[in-house]
Amino acid sequence: MELTGSQILLKSLALEGVDTVFGYPGGAVINIYDDLYDSSINHVLTRHEQAAVHAADGYARCTGKVGVAIATSGPGATNTVTGIATAYMDSIPMVIVTGQVPTPLIGNDAFQEADMCGITRPCTKHNFLVKDIRDLARTIKEAFYIARTGRPGPVLVDLPKDIQINTHKFSYPETVSLRGYKPTYSGNSRQIEKAAKMILASRKPVLYVGGGITLSGADDALLKLAEQTQIPVTTTLMAMAAFPQRHPLALGMLGMHGTFFANMSVTECDLLIAVGSRFDDRVTGRIDSFAEKAKIIHIDIDPTSIGKNVAVDLPIVGDLKDVLGKLHGCLNQKPELVEDLVEETEDWRSIVVEWKERQPMTYRSSKSVIKPQYVIEKISEIADENAIITTEVGQHQMWAAQFFAFRQPRTFLTSGGLGTMGFGLPSALGAQVAYPDRQVIDISGDASFQMNSQELATLVQYKLPVKIVILNNNYLGMVRQWQQMFFEKRYSQTVMELPIDFIKLAEAYGATGLQATKVEDVEATIKKAFETPGPVLMNFKVSREENVLPMVPAGKAIHEMVLAS
Amino acid sequence: MKHTISVLVENEFGVLARISGLFSGRGFNIESLSVAPTMDAELSRMTLVTRGDDQILEQITKQLNKLISTIKVVDFTDSEYIERELAMIKVSTDSESRAEALRIVDIFRAKVIDVTPKSYTIEITGAPAKINGILELLRPMGIKEVVRSGPVVIGRGTKGVVG
Ligand SMILES: Cc1ncc(C[n+]2csc(CCOP(=O)(O)OP(=O)(O)O)c2C)c(N)n1
Ligand SMILES: [Mg+2]
């Protein structure tokens, strides 16, 4: 039987296990939407295409599945770009389908034409323009395969309108063969043995773990290895939920706003085991003094990550689950040596504990004004074990990373690489669609919230009970902090001159709005929000000029921190 | 240091943009680039000349390999290879300089492929250094135009890079 292109698309999505897509219709995808009308695939209509992509991204981050978004050609498609770039920087598996003008019109500056393959080339793992309906099913198969394998990433499929309308016999390929794409999964055993030797010879080892750990599903393998060897673990922003932050071996986040003890541990260690992390500049500070005294083992599935920013002593290319598993096994065969290691590194761990006691992650508390850190601590206390936290970008994001005690993988969704304000609300929306029964909390700033606040409508329409926490300082707080520290408090364009009535805003969309202005109201407000069905926005008026500390000023080494007191 | 890299890619829409976009996006330098079909209709070969230290070259080859459309990347710099470039040179001539021009053409085993009362157009192939050499000698006569192909390379010996 012949199917139309849009039917082939939807059938292919279903065969890829897609049950939910996020999107926004328009002329160039109207045929797809006509077929969606009676399809079993659930479509969530966001209020902006950027939000559709972030929602699919949030869905992907918390489930591990490929997120799918649909947008029309031209402005719909260009609206997706920030979302795609956000996913690309954090290696999130996604497939974005954009409508395109009919093939005979491509290149003619047709109505609502934009060269999406050109625009997204540098921010997708790969992209496709489907020019022949005979290629459509295979293209979808390849798009999903590329998105979810190797180092994951977003893949864009640009689908001209005539291809959606044309018909062709549908047969979905069972396998993919791409001559130029063969990720390495299995770590080289000899390299892994060398790594085991280096670990056993180390006296001050540290595990430096990034977002790759969750992408690979290697969180358990990491915990096993850390406990076996008793090596302290510092996590990047992307990996805060990948290791239980209350674990005695947890050092918290490292880098620009890392903990004193994480940054000191990395500075003083003699072996740095980088796992699914990429030596980002926000992590390393001044690169030539980063882990200066250490030998470096770098384990990653993407060879380009290795040796890009720092020279490493032992590279291992492979899937982290495979490599960490083998490393654990390798060490298991030498129980006495591991025992020696644990004994010999006793001193190191006590130095780390000393650092922790000398400079714990802290802030000056207050009885008169709500401290943003206090709100995060309270949420951490009150929220369910498996609550999913999303954030926008700014000070509130860093406080969430610093003061929320993450306990389960895939519960912290934040834009790490691109740092996209406006990510938190739509990604929370996507997470809540994936897990209707779990608590999903967007920790937001007053400014970031306004970048995608229209998604309140989507939450209300689909009865998605996302809880929104606005740490309202009436500032572009993070930028203000830099202006305070490095520009003599010249607060150029960072004061939100117009205070928004967020409660009315929430109510206008049919959501609930709550507000707390006093310290003693914080806890009750959070509890009330969690008990209230449907989406709830909490507006916390927090101390306005609070700073995120510790902080490593740009260009400094990570041990040269400005500390909390 | 200069490196000549041969890249086998899928012969499909947009590949050249992927490669050149990679170089411009990551700030890699690209001195010359030539693209042509191969024996396999599904593949093209790009030969590119770039510069950088070992660390940059490692990134360039890794990043090229990472592209889905890339089948094979060979950096010829560390192996035995033959490098050839084609150039066409339009040089002004008058009755006095014609004989001298022909002598230079002869020495370099080049060819005159077009003649007018006021010019010769010369074709020459060889290593880029050889082309630089003839240009040096022709320059005093007045060079009106030079068109160079950019070098292509092939490894020495029996083994071939399939494509
Ligand atoms: C889309 C976007 N535009 C600009 C920035 C630069 N930026 C980073 S943090 C920040 C301020 C965020 O303010 P708010 O959301 O109120 O959070 P706060 O820092 O006050 O907690 C800005 C403007 C960004 N990260 N993303
Ligand atoms: Mg703010």
Tokens of A252: 């918290």
Nearest atom of ligand 1 to the alpha carbon of A496: 16
Cross-chain Cβ contact B71/A307 below 8 Å? no
- Contact A540/A469 with Cβ under 8 angstroms? yes
Q: How confident is the model at residue A390 (pLDDT cuts 50, 70, 90)?
A: very high
For ligand 1, whether the C-beta of A322 sits within 6 Å is no
Measure CA of the first residue to CA of the last residue in chain B; give whole Å: 27
pLDDT per position as a tens digit, B68-97: 999 999 999 878 999 999 999 999 999 899
pLDDT per position as a tens digit, A274-310: 999 999 999 999 999 999 999 999 999 999 999 999 9
- Contact A108/A142 with Cβ under 8 angstroms? no
Partners of residue B27 in chain A, C-beta under 8 Å: none
pLDDT for B163 equals 59
Q: Check if A484 is active-site.
A: no
The residue contributing the CA closest to ligand 1 atom 20 is A477
Cross-chain Cβ contact B14/A131 below 8 Å? no
The burial of B69, by beta-carbon neighbours within 10 Å (0-12 exposed, 13-18 middle, 19 or more buried), is given as buried
Q: Which of A396, A547, A409 is nearest to A468 (CA)?
A: A396
Nearest atom of ligand 1 to the alpha carbon of A448: 15
- C-alpha to C-alpha distance for A169 and A172, rounded to whole angstroms: 10
Probe ligand 1: pick from A390, A420, A421, max atoms within 8 Å of CB? A421
Counted across chains A and B, CB pairs separated by less than 8 A come out at: 38
User: Residue A87: CB partners within 8 Å, gap ≥ 6?
Assistant: A53, A57, A60, A67, A94, A153, A154
pLDDT per position as a tens digit, A305-316: 999 999 999 999
Name the helix (H) or strand (E) containing A354.
Answer: helix A346-358
Q: How confident is the model at residue A556 (pLDDT cuts 50, 70, 90)?
A: very high
pLDDT for A128 equals 98
Angle between helices A49-63 and A81-89 (to 10 degrees): 20
For ligand 1, whether the C-beta of A475 sits within 6 Å is yes
Q: Of residues A564 and B55, which shows the higher confidence score?
A: B55
Q: Check if A161 is active-site.
A: yes
User: Residue B149: CB partners within 8 Å, gap ≥ 6?
Assistant: B34, B85, B86, B87
Contact map slice: B 66-105 vs A, CB within 8 A: 66-71
**Cα of A129 to ligand 1 centre, how many Å?**
34
Cross-chain Cβ contact B59/A307 below 8 Å? yes
Q: What is the mean pLDDT of residues B138-161?
A: 94
**Cα of A403 to ligand 2 centre, how many Å?**
17
pLDDT for residue A552 is more than 80:
yes
Residues of A with CB under 8 A from a CB of B: 117-118, 121-122, 125-126, 129, 131, 146, 178-181, 302-304, 307-308, 311
Tokens of A504: 């009315």
- Contact A91/A212 with Cβ under 8 angstroms? yes
Q: What is the mean pLDDT of residues A230-252?
A: 98
How far off is chain A from B72, nearest CA to CA, in Å? 7
Q: Chain-centre distance of CA A507, in angstroms?
A: 29
Measure CA of the first residue to CA of the last residue in chain A; give whole Å: 72
Q: What is the mean pLDDT of residues A152-156?
A: 98
Q: Of residues B96 and A444, which shows the higher confidence score?
A: A444
Nearest atom of ligand 1 to the alpha carbon of A82: 1
Catalytic residue among A7, A16, A22, A49: A49
- Contact A530/A439 with Cβ under 8 angstroms? yes
pLDDT per position as a tens digit, A52-111: 999 999 999 999 999 999 999 999 999 999 999 999 999 999 999 999 999 999 999 999
Tokens of A364: 């000056």
pLDDT for A60 equals 98
Instruction: List the single range of A183-187, B119-123, B153-157 with lowest mean pLDDT.
Output: B153-157
For ligand 1, whether the C-beta of A546 sits within 6 Å is no
- Contact A54/A423 with Cβ under 8 angstroms? yes
pLDDT for B121 equals 98
Partners of residue A157 in chain B, C-beta under 8 Å: none
Q: Check if A478 is active-site.
A: yes
Q: Is the pTM of this model over 0.90?
A: yes
- C-alpha to C-alpha distance for A254 and A252, rounded to whole angstroms: 7
Nearest atom of ligand 1 to the alpha carbon of A396: 21
The residue contributing the CA closest to ligand 1 atom 8 is A394
Tokens of A255: 């880098």
What is the SS3 assignment for A69?
strand
Q: Check if A111 is active-site.
A: yes
Q: How confident is the model at residue A374 (pLDDT cuts 50, 70, 90)?
A: very high
